Structure 1
Amino acid sequence: MSCFGVFCTCCRVGLSSRGTMRTRSALRETIWYFIVGGILLTCTWATPDSEPLDSSEYLEGEGVWMNSAINDLHHGHPVHNDQFPEDLPLEQNMAVMPGQWEQDSFQPSSVLSNAGRGVVMVDSYRGPGNRDTRSNKELPILLWWSQNLFPHFPGGTERVDCPLSSCMVTKDKRVKLHKRTKSIIFYGTDFRAYEAPLPRLPHQTWALFHEESPMNNYVLSHLPGIRLFNYTATFRRESDYPLTLQWLPTIGYLQNPAVSIAEKNKWRQEGYAAILYMQSHCDVPSDRDRYVKELMKHIQIDSYGQCLKNRQFPSKRLEDTSTATTEDQQFMEFTARYKFHLAMENAICADYMTEKLWRPMHIGAVPIYRGSPSVKDWMPNDNSIIVIDDFETPEELAKFITSLDQDDEEYLKYLEYKKPGEITNKLLLDSMQKREWGVNDMSAPNYLNGFECFVCDQENARVEAKKKHKKTQGKSSAPVPHIAANNHMGCPIPVPGIGKADALPEDDR
């Protein structure tokens, strides 16, 4: 059986299992993905005849030209084109592959040869360094592989003019074998190895966009999985195009006024707890419910979601799940009366921080947080959240929360960052100032288009460096291979929310 055949068989068996997201099953699934990812990595580095690609092909297929001159990118607005322009004859457009291939499996697409030039529907914005005068038919192509993700509307093919260069982008998979298709962009949550365009062509790079939870695709948290990609945009600050602060719209979002301490104390006198917990996604890799259940033995917690629910919302409107997952004004006003929110991510990974952290800070509640081990690096000051892992036991944490609940002066110190000039974290301030994309901001590009332009500029630089290297007969440096590292995702294996895995009973739920 071929390497590809072995891989597909393994994937179908692994993905058909119906294990839950409990800690034990999450561990088993993680190990399984590790094995599958290793098989895929092996497959992509060899032809079906097991003939290794030569060094020049490897550089072109796996390498990325990392040019220090294009570190600071600014997004360019796309030019809308419905179709690709006329191009070379089909047989000349075929990517040349080593070894022998079945002709039917590698028929070139007709989309590039039969289409018209397309019509420019909006003006193109060129970055200050973009002097690209090439026509559409000369530009490299970027292919968005995921069916449901293409950051352009309404067409399926666009020209994008980026800070330093221009590209054609498309969601039409018929161009996957074209020699001008230089990079394929994958959405991490949708990435399934058995659906990947194998074998990899030696002239193409792979790019990964994955802003969601690491639990959505375990294979990406292991080296064989992440090393399938050349460019990455993830929540990790070490990725090529970091999305770490994707859930924080602006610095001003943190300085929204809090409910007065008098109103919060009145809320407490009416019988409400100091702590709110609201989750309806149970049995996640972080095993948060196990910890909360133990914490409830030592302090009152109002839980409104489906996980550990012990209290009803006061109105049917607030009970609506869709309302409870948005920043609805009535919902926000209700939750803002609580002094503390249990803010616990569904997975534990460095720099993975979501609305569970930022939203309580926005409304003026103090997050009791578990998630990113590096969360303190990003906080507005040194005293704005309570980190669960700073306490040896839930009982110790409960005692600390009780003391703050009874001491208004100490409690309010956790909200000092809401005052003018009190956000002092230089990393946070600098990162927000330099961020080229916006969140719910129509005046700024979104991070999908930003990453697309990042890949476009990198690919154009790589291709030019390769041409120059060939033209100068090696006197000019060849493109330097760049493959994603483990710290572009690198999330640890899930562990129990409290206690040790080997101490859990076999029937643990």
Structure 2
Amino acid sequence: KVDSPGDDVTWCLATGRDAGVVPGVTWGTLTDKKDQQMWKRLNCDSLPNLEDGVALPPPVPPSSQDASWSTAALSSLPLTPPRSVPASPFPYLLPAGGSSQNRPKVTVLVWNKIKGYLDWLRDDFTRDALQHCSTECVFTSDKRAMTRSAGVLFHVKTHSKSDFPNKRAHPAQKYMMVSLEQPAYAPLMKQPAYTSKFDYLMTYDLDTSTVPVITIHPHYAAKEYFEAPSVPFEEKLDAAVMFTSNCKNAGADSRLKYFEELMKHMTVHSYGKCLHNTEEPPAGKRSRNENKRRVLSKYKWYLAFENNIIKDYVSEKVYDGVLAGTVPVYYGTDGVDRLLPDGRAVVKVSDFSSPKALAEFLTGVGADKSKYEAYLAWKQQPPQSKVDAFQSVIDMTAYKYTSLCRVCHQLSEDGATPK
């Protein structure tokens, strides 16, 4: 229940940030029906300062790979940016104050149904892409655009392997496959006869994708990760915190066994349904995510465990911890360093031989202020190049118009536009 205009604003802002509700767009499949109705009843479209659209996060896909624990010895991680920054860190975007005139026009035809969390035909995405991309970037599902399209996009999860155009409209035209799913959810990805038809592969695999697409939330700019304050060391609880409610599916059994063993050797407060032992404080006017980050900020360590290890797949968990000013203890892809503001921002579970070894390390570092704060040192006066490097990571998200810009820029660079 919303009781006052002030509460109306709070609800609209929280929904706009956390649920992906966007003023003036077609709702499609992205937002809960009750939220849509409440949004309209409160006339949220009329409120200022609502953030541009983001999609809801996808479910973490299951994996056939069982969880396993590395015996690699702990080694110090250097304070390094996740990747080198090109001379122009955002070549896919129109520079601030730049003219939108005389941009190369790039049209992308979305061949089959594209839906859910990968809805690149959303009104706000296509509008913002047309306004902010360094190309005149147009995404359309109108097949009459085939002859003028630089690229034809196929959403693998909803695609039939027999559903292709009769032929390419021109020699430079690129066929592009996009998916946020792992092959277990999109079996066509395991068929070389199918994948060989494409010029571009676009998945969350950073090494095999022409234009990688990842699942980081675009709610916050890179600078906000660096500027987010941390609770002073002396005020933090000398414990680890976890929010885990998936207790049965997608690798949860091995993860819960690890948590149980870890709890034998150090204090762990569990606010989720799994191994629950601590109650979450009331959110008040905060959104669910804001209240969660408030809780995380009070702890030295946050157990950010993926459901399974999937190469280059990183969910929102680790980013929640980084934003909250705690230190995530991360279990997931070894390549997480490339997707963080800095490699020293997390402790990797894979660096330890057992839960006991991890607990001993966390307890020791947690008792030493200088050692603990070394994990937060990356935030201090970062060079702009480092901030830009992480912003380029955020811009790889599938949930923002920047992915459209990156696709159009790549097509333009490859000379795929019809002559």
**Bin for the TM-score computed over the shorter chain:** 0.5 to 0.7
Q: 1:396 aligns with which of 336, 348, 357?
A: 357
Aligned residue for 1:192? 158
Larger CA deviation: 220-229 vs 234-243: 220-229
Contact 2:130/2:136, CA 8 A, preserved across alignment: yes
In structure 1, C-alpha distance between the alignment counterparts of 2:186 and 2:258, rounded to whole Å = 24
In structure 2, C-alpha distance between the alignment counterparts of 1:162 and 1:154, rounded to whole Å = 12
Q: 1:431 aligns with which of 362, 386, 389?
A: 389
Partner of 1:295: helix, strand, or coil?
A: helix
In structure 1, C-alpha distance between the alignment counterparts of 2:125 and 2:373, rounded to whole Å = 52
In structure 2, C-alpha distance between the alignment counterparts of 1:380 and 1:230, rounded to whole Å = 31
Q: 1:259 aligns with which of 223, 226, 231?
A: 231
Q: CA deviation at 1:142?
A: 1.3
Change over 3 Å in CA distance of 1:397–1:157 after alignment to 2: closer
- Structure 2 residue 248 is the aligned partner of structure 1 residue 275: no
Question: Matches of residues 32-431 of structure 1 in structure 2 within 5 Å?
Answer: 73-75=91-93, 126=100, 130=104, 142-143=109-110, 145-148=112-115, 149-153=119-123, 169-172=139-142, 175=144, 179-180=147-148, 183-187=151-155, 191-193=157-159, 195-196=160-161, 198-203=163-168, 205-211=174-180, 217=186, 220=189, 226-238=195-207, 239-243=209-213, 246-247=216-217, 249-265=221-237, 268=238, 274-282=239-247, 283-285=249-251, 287-315=254-282, 317=283, 323-324=287-288, 326=289, 328=290, 330-381=291-342, 383-421=344-382, 429=387, 431=389
In structure 1, C-alpha distance between the alignment counterparts of 2:281 and 2:391, rounded to whole Å = 41
Contact 1:276/1:340, CA 8 A, preserved across alignment: yes
In structure 1, C-alpha distance between the alignment counterparts of 2:297 and 2:355, rounded to whole Å = 24
In structure 1, C-alpha distance between the alignment counterparts of 2:261 and 2:315, rounded to whole Å = 24
Q: 1:447 aligns with which of 402, 406, 418?
A: 402
In structure 1, C-alpha distance between the alignment counterparts of 2:215 and 2:125, rounded to whole Å = 30
Alignment RMSD (CA, Å): 4.6
Q: CA deviation at 1:418?
A: 2.5
Change over 3 Å in CA distance of 1:182–1:396 after alignment to 2: same
Partner of 1:369: helix, strand, or coil?
A: strand
1:231-258 deviations in whole A, cap 9, x for unaligned? Answer: 2333333322234584473133133110
Partner of 2:295: helix, strand, or coil?
A: helix
Structure 1 segments unaligned to the other structure (5+ residues): 1-20, 29-70, 78-123, 133-138, 269-273, 465-509
Task: Using CA pairs under 8 Å that are at least 6 residues apart, name the structure with larger relative contact order, 1 or 2.
Answer: 2
Q: CA deviation at 1:366?
A: 0.8
In structure 2, C-alpha distance between the alignment counterparts of 1:219 and 1:255, rounded to whole Å = 43
Change over 3 Å in CA distance of 1:76–1:252 after alignment to 2: closer
Amino acid at match of 1:310: N
Question: Normalised by the size of structure 1, how large is the TM-score?
Answer: 0.52
Contact 1:250/1:432, CA 8 A, preserved across alignment: yes
Amino acid at match of 1:304: Y
Q: CA deviation at 1:76?
A: 6.5
Change over 3 Å in CA distance of 1:228–1:381 after alignment to 2: same
In structure 2, C-alpha distance between the alignment counterparts of 1:199 and 1:447, rounded to whole Å = 27
1:371-390 deviations in whole A, cap 9, x for unaligned? Answer: 12122345545533211010
In structure 1, C-alpha distance between the alignment counterparts of 2:108 and 2:341, rounded to whole Å = 41
Structure 2 segments unaligned to the other structure (5+ residues): 1-60, 67-88
Contact 1:349/1:373, CA 8 A, preserved across alignment: no
Change over 3 Å in CA distance of 1:199–1:323 after alignment to 2: same
Contact 2:183/2:190, CA 8 A, preserved across alignment: yes
In structure 1, C-alpha distance between the alignment counterparts of 2:347 and 2:306, rounded to whole Å = 14
In structure 1, C-alpha distance between the alignment counterparts of 2:256 and 2:311, rounded to whole Å = 20
Contact 1:207/1:232, CA 8 A, preserved across alignment: yes
Change over 3 Å in CA distance of 1:352–1:254 after alignment to 2: farther
Amino acid at match of 1:457: S
Change over 3 Å in CA distance of 1:232–1:334 after alignment to 2: same
Change over 3 Å in CA distance of 1:196–1:155 after alignment to 2: farther
Q: CA deviation at 1:397?
A: 0.8
In structure 2, C-alpha distance between the alignment counterparts of 1:447 and 1:163, rounded to whole Å = 8
Q: CA deviation at 1:339?
A: 1.1
Kindly tell me the number of residue pairs found equivalent between the two proteins: 324
1:290-339 deviations in whole A, cap 9, x for unaligned? Answer: 43233233333222223333333233x48x9x954x3x2x3322221111
In structure 2, C-alpha distance between the alignment counterparts of 1:294 and 1:231, rounded to whole Å = 44
Contact 1:276/1:342, CA 8 A, preserved across alignment: yes
User: Identity over the aligned pairs, expressed in percent?
Assistant: 22
Bigger Rg, which one: 1
Contact 1:127/1:164, CA 8 A, preserved across alignment: no
Contact 1:353/1:375, CA 8 A, preserved across alignment: yes
Aligned residue for 2:416? 461
Partner of 2:372: helix, strand, or coil?
A: helix
In structure 2, C-alpha distance between the alignment counterparts of 1:352 and 1:169, rounded to whole Å = 26
In structure 1, C-alpha distance between the alignment counterparts of 2:394 and 2:315, rounded to whole Å = 19
Amino acid at match of 2:211: Y
Contact 1:236/1:352, CA 8 A, preserved across alignment: yes
In structure 1, C-alpha distance between the alignment counterparts of 2:182 and 2:274, rounded to whole Å = 19
Partner of 2:334: helix, strand, or coil?
A: coil
Partner of 2:376: helix, strand, or coil?
A: helix
Change over 3 Å in CA distance of 1:75–1:378 after alignment to 2: closer
Q: CA deviation at 1:439?
A: 7.6
